[in-house]
Amino acid sequence: MQLLGGLSGEKFLSQIWQKKPLLVRKAIPGFKGVVQAPELFALSSRHDVESRLVSRRRGSWHLEQGPFSRTQIARLPRSGWTLLVHGLNLELPEADALLRRFRFLPYARFDDVMVSYAAAGGGVGPHFDSYDVFLLQGPGQRRWRVGRPREPRLDPKAPLRILSNFRPDKEWLLETGDMLYLPPGWAHDGVALEPSFTYSIGFRAPSHQEVAREFLAFLQDHVALAGTYADRGAKPQRRPAEVPKRMVQHAAVVARRIHWRTADVARFLGEYLSAPKPQTVFSRPRTPRSPARFAALCHARGMRLDLRTRMLFREREFFLNGEQVEPPGRLRRFLARLADERALPPGERLTQPLLGLLHDWYLAGWLRIGERHE
């Protein structure tokens, strides 16, 4: 794979992934980026798109959260700032296509494509991330310095996580189309040498704490225990404010009755990993087609998942935007193909139960008519 500097997916996963940085020159030859500055400024002015502006003035760091007005953008100085826009893949088909070049990794690990547009001297400062990231250089040059994981010390005065004990081991100048892979925990600092774009293709890994917390929340809706505590055999209370021991013992017995199977954890995980980010809004079709018309149009033009849709599957279960579906066996092949490819060509005849599912997803704005994004 050119994207991985000639390494196969297997080699990359066994030798590099989560182990050490990898610099790939010309990972995407002729890469032009997927967004230009005016479009990026327009995205950063939207309330439903997460954006941040990081600047450094007279040695101190500043952070502003978007959205940004046209006047704010027009007032930016010539140097020393960077504008970050998250979730680019949820807005631009080209950014989604960029993300899906990494499909040798499971979609369950995909986070998003973020872009930074920096003026000369701009950057977010030395820091580390808890995610795996591929830093793909768009137009313009950026110098990256990288240091191995060590006990971090953070600058207490900075409004963002800046390492005060950054010690780089390596330095590279990235040109358009070059890419740097960094495992979690590796410190890095990118500085634009001229106005330049960097695309961060990020991979999430839920922390143990997050899995535990979210699974407990899932269990709340799935545990049903009958019965109520009863005082049978209780003696008169000597200290009325004291919680009776028998009540504690009873609660402990109830707590021990909370059971789950691996299948429950798997269902939780599918729902959790496919849930859209909180700010995601799906747009429903303006003039919804009837099921019959929808089927005819999909047959003629194909269909695709909306850019914001997260679709995963495991064994018999499918997970779409945080919801679990267990379709009849004969639909599974079709749905698994849709989940992998995210778009299907014209020519599919939709049988009744499948049409029922897909039409619902279409009405929710999760699925669209037409194989290609307009």
Residue 88 C-beta: closest distance to ligand SIN, Å: 12
What is the token pair recorded at 338? 């849709």
Q: Within a 10 A sphere around the Cβ of 321, how many other Cβ atoms? A: 20
Sole window of 121-129, 149-157, 232-240, 314-322 interacting with ligand SIN (rule: CB under 6 A): 121-129
Closer CB to ligand SIN, residue 55 or residue 116? Answer: 116
Q: Which does 348 bind (CB under 5 to 8 A by kind): Co ion, ligand SIN, none?
A: none
Closer CB to ligand SIN, residue 193 or residue 296? Answer: 193
3-state secondary structure of 161: coil
Place of tokens 């390494």: 7
Measured in degrees and rounded to the nearest 5, phi and psi for residue 357 equal -65, -55
Sole window of 96-104, 116-124, 320-328, 332-340 interacting with ligand SIN (rule: CB under 6 A): 116-124
* Partners of residue 187 on adjacent β-strands: 147
Give the orientation angle of helix 262-274 with respect to helix 208-220, to 10 degrees: 100
How far is it, in rounded angstroms, from Cα 4 to Cα 223? 46
How far is it, in rounded angstroms, from Cα 81 to Cα 66? 14
Binding mask 77-96 for ligand SIN (x = CB under 6 A): -----x--------------
The answer to whether 44 contacts ligand SIN (rule: CB under 6 A) is no
Place of tokens 């499971």: 106
Q: Which of 200, 274, 309, 321 binds ligand SIN (CB under 6 A)?
A: 200
The answer to whether 21 contacts ligand SIN (rule: CB under 6 A) is no
**Radius of gyration for the chain, computed over Cα atoms and rounded to the nearest angstrom:** 25
Residue 38 C-beta: closest distance to ligand SIN, Å: 19
> Of 251, 150, 235, 139, nearest to 195 (Cα)?
139
3-state secondary structure of 73: helix
Closer CB to ligand SIN, residue 123 or residue 183? Answer: 123
Closer CB to ligand SIN, residue 22 or residue 305? Answer: 22
What is the token pair recorded at 241? 């404010």
Residue 62 C-beta: closest distance to Co ion, Å: 18
The answer to whether 133 contacts ligand SIN (rule: CB under 6 A) is yes
Binding mask 169-188 for ligand SIN (x = CB under 6 A): -------------------x
Q: Which of 129, 175, 323, 371 binds ligand SIN (CB under 6 A)?
A: 129
Q: Which does 198 bind (CB under 5 to 8 A by kind): ligand SIN, Co ion, none?
A: ligand SIN
Residue 262, H or E segment:
helix 262-274
Residue 108 C-beta: closest distance to ligand SIN, Å: 21
The answer to whether 198 contacts ligand SIN (rule: CB under 6 A) is yes
* Partners of residue 197 on adjacent β-strands: 117
How far is it, in rounded angstroms, from Cα 82 to Cα 89? 19
Q: Which does 116 bind (CB under 5 to 8 A by kind): ligand SIN, Co ion, none?
A: ligand SIN
How far is it, in rounded angstroms, from Cα 153 to Cα 42? 36
Length of the chain counted residue by residue: 374
The answer to whether 190 contacts ligand SIN (rule: CB under 6 A) is yes
Q: Which does 307 bind (CB under 5 to 8 A by kind): ligand SIN, Co ion, none?
A: none
Closer CB to Co ion, residue 114 or residue 303? Answer: 114
The answer to whether 123 contacts ligand SIN (rule: CB under 6 A) is yes
Give the CA count within 13 Å in the CB-facing half-sphere of 136: 27
Residue 143 C-beta: closest distance to Co ion, Å: 14
Q: Which does 82 bind (CB under 5 to 8 A by kind): ligand SIN, Co ion, none?
A: ligand SIN
The answer to whether 124 contacts ligand SIN (rule: CB under 6 A) is yes
How far is it, in rounded angstroms, from Cα 227 to Cα 257? 12
Closer CB to ligand SIN, residue 73 or residue 363? Answer: 73
Residue 281, H or E segment:
none
DSSP β-ladder status, 179-182 and 132-137: antiparallel
Please report, as ranges, the residues that interact with ligand SIN according to CB under 6 A. Answer: 82, 116, 123-124, 129, 133, 188, 190, 198, 200
